[in-house]
Structure 1
Amino acid sequence: MLKIFFYCLPIIFTSCTNYGQLKVVTDLPSSLEEISGMASYNDSTIWALEDNGNKDEIYQVNFKGDIVKSLKVKNGDNDDWEDMAMDQAGNLYIADIGNNDNSRKNLVIYKIPNPTIEPGDKVDAEHIEFNYPDQTEFPPNEDGLLFDAEALFHHGNSLYIVTKNRSKPFKGEAHIYSVPDTAGKYEANLVGSFTPCTDWKTCQITSIDLSPNGDKIVALSYGKLFVFTDFTWNDFSKGKLQEIDLGARTQLESVCFLNDNTLLISDERSHGTGGNLYSYSLK
């Protein structure tokens, strides 16, 4: 009896980790502890990146948790890479928009060709540089820390950026900006704003994506999804908003659509939990 009890202990402890409604697809590579952005080309892999302090590289990871390809972005310094987006032509956009202190003046999005068909291990990037029209202080006062961002998606000829509120006191407001998807220097267009919720632990937006058929936008936070439907492109925040509590409270940092109704979600490895790739069905 004692032998059976001790053999079962690993199973018991594993099941104690609560990932709520998320289904574990695979344990992500231990060398990638801080994945902050993902994109999927609708195959059984993801492309992933890590944030501040990590290499200027992106990684193709299969659903078994193996790195099958890596690409160095030759002219794309990783100041604070935070999300990825993909357009219908297969181009990939790397959002170097992390701005924890709200003091950066070098915000940039790197545009690279479809990495799945790149023959080598390095790739050149076009630079889409921008600034926020309503930021005049670097940094602003604590009650105006509205210019960090970790969320990016592509639609039409534009890239949409959603900010991560760091204000004190926390009120939850997230701003939406757009910039063209071609190389250049731009003043971002302030599209609108929304307040997903007001608890700072679960209401800061960490990633976003648009469904392949264009009828859903999903924003991720530390434990929740915010799903926009029935919207227009003048300001998608005016559409219908559904809040979904995932029941997980790990450091969820990235979301992308695998298909119109299936999401892939990842979290950073922290305090012995996380570091996984998950799936979630919107059905």
Structure 2
Amino acid sequence: MKKYIVLLSFSLLYACSSKSQETNFKEVFTLDKKHTEVSGMIFHAPTQKLWMLQDKGNPSELYVYSADGTFENTVIVNNQENTDWEDLSQDKNGNIYIGNFGNNDNKRKDLRILKVDAATIQSNSVNVSQETTFYYEDQTEFPPKKSNLLYDCEAFVATNEAFYLFTKNRSKGFDGAFYVYKVPNKNGSFKAEKIATLKTCDQYKSCAITGAALNKNGNEIAFLTHDKVLLIPFVNDDSFKQENITTKELGHNSQKEAITFKSDNQLFMADESEKGKKGGTVFMLDLN
């Protein structure tokens, strides 16, 4: 009898867990077959559309989708090379920022963030109105030793005053550490100031940071990995403390590289297509 009760309890627990997972994290739509390497995404507040970009080797373009998955437009970014575009962000005025800072080998010296003015984005092609170039204040070798490959970046958020960048650890002996840097939101060349070191976990495929998003109210940041979302309340530079992080397990592992808030309680995220595997999918996580 006791064995039966234990088995029944386990079955009920499993069923409830599965139901909760299905409710909180779900597939929303599949991207156009040409968009297999989406690495950055925003739910743009003024247009209420999803804007996306693809990474290295793809055209210098932005892609516009409706929230239900209808592909609507391609916007060409004039006179810019997609060296390695890795993330998108926006400020409270609806200006869009392109993070051209992918740095797999940790040896780039042309890291930059490109601004596209909100007033121009209804066109089929746009010009960049601001270029912010930067260098990491503590990087002295290009590339560093394999045990110190901490200067790739696939994630950032923008405020009206500054950019916050979150590095992707590619070091041999991965331990989950990533750096937080701050760069002024201005035209020109700047030192990226390291303001914090945080940790996820020690499994690279589960714990390397691949995307970030700031909510509309500007008081919470979400970090993305292949199978989890990390949340941190945001007020100022002192917010980046290990004890402030909470983790949401997705129960789903794929090459997720783009994340954005749809609302304070809902997150969109997208994964890339992997060879021989499904991908190019947009998911939603309900934080309630």
1:278 aligns with 2:288: no
Match of 2:54 among 47, 50, 53: 50
2:107 matches 1:99: no
State the AA in 2 paired with 1:121. N
The secondary structure found in structure 1 opposite 2:158 is strand
Q: Which residue of 2 aligns with 1:15?
A: none
Paired with 1:93 and 1:225, the residues of 2 have a C-alpha distance of 22
In 2, Cα distance between equivalents of 1:57 and 1:217: 26
Deviation at 1:76, TM superposition (A): 2.1
**In the alignment, residue 171 of structure 1 is paired with which amino acid?**
D
Task: Tell me the TM-score normalized by structure 1.
Answer: 0.89
Structure 1 residues 118 and 201: CA distance shift in structure 2, 3 A: closer
Residues 72, 257 of structure 1: alpha-carbon distance in 2 compared, 3 angstrom cutoff: same
8 Å contact kept, 1:211–1:257: yes
Q: Tell me the TM-score normalized by structure 2.
A: 0.87
* Residue type at the aligned position of 2:244: K
1:122 maps to which of 119, 122, 125:
125
Partner residue in 2 for 1:214:
218
- State the superposition RMSD in angstroms: 1.8
Please point out which of 136, 142, 151 is paired with 2:140: 136
Asked if residue 33 in structure 1 is aligned to residue 33 in structure 2, the reply is no
Matched pairs, number: 264
Residues 93 and 87 (structure 1), Cα distance of their counterparts in 2 relative to 1, 3 Å cut:
same
Correspondence for 1:257 among 244, 258, 261: 261
| Equivalent in the alignment of 2:150 | 146
- The answer to whether residue 190 in structure 2 is matched with residue 186 in structure 1 is yes
Range moving further from structure 2, 21-30 or 95-104: 21-30
SS of aligned partner of 1:101: coil
* Shift, 1:156, TM fit: 4.0
CA contact 2:219–2:235 (8 Å) conserved in 1: no
The structural deviation recorded for 1:210 is 1.2
Percent of aligned positions that are identical: 35
Please list the CA deviations of residues 51-102 of structure 1 after superposition, one character each: whole Å capped at 9, or x if unmatched. 0000000010123433211111113210000000100111000000100000
Q: Does 1:226 align with 2:205?
A: no
As a proportion of its length, which structure holds more helix?
2
After superposition, the C-alpha distances for 1:21-57 in whole angstroms (9 at most, x for unaligned) are 5211111111100000001124653000000000000
Of the candidates 151, 164, 171, which is equivalent to residue 168 of structure 2? 164
Cα 1:156/1:91, change in 2 over 3 Å: closer
* Structure 2 segments unaligned to the other structure (5+ residues): 1-20
Paired residue for 1:204?
Answer: 208
Shift of 1:265: 0.6
Query: Secondary structure at 2:93's aligned position in 1?
Result: coil
